Structure 1
Amino acid sequence: MNDMQEASGTIWAVFGHRFAIEGKEGRFLADLGPKGAEGIALEVGDAVSLTGERKPSEIKVKFLTLKDGSVRTIAWPTKPHDGKDAHEPADPAAALAAVRGQGYAVEGEPRRKPKHFEIVGSRDGARHEIHVELDGTIRRTKPLAA
């Protein structure tokens, strides 16, 4: 469940870039992230308000209003592999050719990862997960359970 949540209350514990808050919504853990916490001095007893993305174990803070009324915006980094356009261009045909060239019978479609393809193939009665670099070099093979 990843919903935006607003909350306010009093800080009752600080753990690096995370802090515990208690308010009318109850007690919960809030996370500023290591970069987001830079330059923000939080102390037990401070009254704060926040808006953030609700995760199962905490709230990832996007906006934090401090006891002096100043508002801080927390910029969370995006993961480089989010979205299909984040991958550098690569042709799965080279990966498939490399796997077939090693005598594997390919099962299904190659799965694209940021820096390689994962292909399931069988050879000599055993199934393997084969990791193939974008240039067609086989990086490793991992036996799969029967």
Structure 2
Amino acid sequence: MEQTNYQIKKASLEELDQAAELFNLYRIFYRQPSDLEKGKAFLKERLLNGESDIFLAIVDGKAVGFVQLYKLFHYTKLEKQWLLSDLFVHPDYRGHGLSVALIDRSKQWCKETGACGLMLETEKTNDIGNKLYPRCGFEYDALHNYYHWWK
């Protein structure tokens, strides 16, 4: 695997356009219709309200991957934790360790913010993610069922 020179950068409104393009591709990956403007507005609101933290993988000055984290609180540890909600690397840049670098930066963010850890969920059909997360130290939780309620 060829090593790619990259940097991981915490996103601000300056990077909103690049983050929104990746977020739109991420949503398409999960079979959602393309809506760049609505996604951009969604990310802008998260950033302006301090509701999420986004880290970008930058290669040659261009954002090619991102991770988005939301603050949660863990009921047994009685501490803050982060939900690793979204992780995406552009298909042209996969296989160069960028997903692992974004996860590592998320783990570092836990340390920097005094959080107890990360949690995530992904579809059973996400073969890439279901191989990646255990490799990065995540443990599969077979004890819980996750349910959704949508209005």
Structure possessing the higher radius of gyration over alpha carbons: 1
TM-score (norm: length of structure 2): 0.29
Structure with bigger RCO (C-alpha 8 Å, 6+ apart) = 2
Structure with the higher fraction of residues in strand conformation:
1
TM-score (norm: length of structure 1): 0.30
